Amino acid sequence: MSRDSSRDIAENWLQAEPDEDIRRELIELIKGSDEDGSVEELDERFAGRLMFGTAGLRAKVGAGPLRMNRLVVRQAAAGLVDYLLRTVEGSAEAGILIGFDARRKSDVFALDTARVAAARGMKAMLLPQVIPTPVLAWNITRLGVAAGVMVTASHNPPQDNGYKVYLGSGAQIVPPHDALISDAIESFDPTLIELAPEDSPLIQVLGIECVEDYVNWLPSVRLSRNLPSVKVAYSAMHGVGGDTLMKAFTAVGFAVPTVVEAQQVPDGSFPTVSFPNPEEPGAMDLVIELAQKIGADVALANDPDADRLGVAIPVGSDASREWRLLRGDEIGWLLGDHILRHTKGDDRLVVTTLVSSSLLGKMARQHGVAFAETFTGFKWIADAVVRHPNKRLVFAYEQALGYLVADRPLDKDGISAALVMTEIVALAKRDGVTLQDRLDEIATEYGHHVTTEMSIKMSPSEGAAVVEQLRAHPPEMIGGRRVAGVEDFPEANLLRVWLDEVGGRGVRLQIRPSGTEPKVKLYGEAVDMAESELRQLLAALAP
């Protein structure tokens, strides 16, 4: 984009920008461009707009249509409301439910969404305080609203914020809704969005009963009773899940966890973690340190909006006790095995994603339960549930620490998952075994499944080209092993390569471009193979 066009857009944006801190930032940006003649940073902010896609919107907070700010949020809200009014009968009266976390500007983004909805004649219901994403998602169907919005960037770095959208089913949006909403958003000028006054009769601030009703529902996820007490160490990771999780443990009859005090209170600056994602190396260090100190049976952590769950377990004898993080699939195996053993009925359904372990499917066959495999992302898990109306969802997961241990909400829920994981720990304690013993029992029954991942940085176009090249010319051998079959999932832009044999005890390698980052991601799974050997095979597939 030319210097003049970037600067012109920025100047126009500056006139409409409602927040003084963002205005000062933009003034300095324009001034710097004038002084050195560079438009690079202006183009990074103003040469396009955030695309509404996989997780709604998500970006750094800052000025411009390619950042998260109040003008971008107002434009997104106007497009969403316009789409609902045109396509969902009775949506103006049913309204929209809006929640927010503790990140920078989440509260004003939520209020602006309500004001935009009210200005367009739609009822807007604001949750009363910072709140976990699962609470918002759970209340969508309880209240019968037309849609829900959660202002959160989940586990992204501290400088980010985001805007997640659910439809009336309580599920995140999938095609074609995402593209249609995006088209509606693009039809609005972000600097000219009408706002209703904050005291509009169409804006209702709900009471704390939204949290209380969710907490009161949580005992229904328990599957086993009369278990011994266990000691849990917990971190909210500076997010909004801590208070609700403590209430949840009390509601289901568990002893409340011992918390990492430095990470329990919501703080959008995340002072003790640079990347508040339980998957990231070091992110759970403080809760593991606490677990060691108090002799805990398990260490749990939610991500900042509490829709994910990280788990660490003690291994070894008391004299040489160490802690290790469970991988997302290992948590999924423990939850899936427990739930399938403690539920009944031939109408049961379990769901996972293409890049998660194949072991859940084997468990489902063993228990005579319906199984579905979906594209990457929890929105597709919800879509699979909706497409199986005659089945009863009992468990779903994705390997990126997302778990659903009940039939609602139709999204991952790190709080209810924490409760069921604690139940598994208590059941193991009653039986005189450890969680590692449980994993070993699963391996004995189904084979020792080994998983690994790697990623390679490259642009989205380069990543797509790599997958297309493999699709057009699949290899006959990889790492000295015969390629037994290739499965293509074009809608997910994912290629699955089987070595030795298809399914069963064959080696499964997968490759896809990331949908959110400039990288190609690779996933490997094998049975009874050393992880180092599996990584070598995965590396041989890598571009």
d(CA 272, CA 467) in angstroms, rounded, equals: 38
End-to-end CA distance of the chain: 32
DSSP tag of 254: P
Query: What's the sign of the alpha-carbon dihedral 266, 272, 275, 279?
Result: negative
182 catalytic residue (yes or no):
no
DSSP 140-200: HHHHT-SEEEEE--TTS-TTEEEEEEEETTSPBP-TTHHHHHHHHHHTS-GGG-----TT-
Tokens of 351: 């769901």
d(CA 297, CA 232) in angstroms, rounded, equals: 6
Tokens of 405: 């241990």
The bridge status of strand 96-100 relative to strand 147-151 is: parallel
Which among 154, 182, 356, 358 is annotated as catalytic?
A: 154
Collapse the DSSP code of 133 into the 3-class scheme (helix H, G, I; strand E, B; otherwise coil) and give the result: helix
Residue where the block lists tokens 């298809």 = 502
**Buried/exposed 415-446: b ≥16 CB within 10 Å, e otherwise:** bbbbbbbbbbbbbbbeeeebbbebbeebbeeb
Tokens of 336: 């899936």
Cβ partners under 8 Å of residue 446, min gap 6? 359, 362, 363, 366
Cβ partners under 8 Å of residue 241, min gap 6? 132, 302, 304, 305, 306, 414, 415
The residues annotated with a catalytic role in the active site are: 154
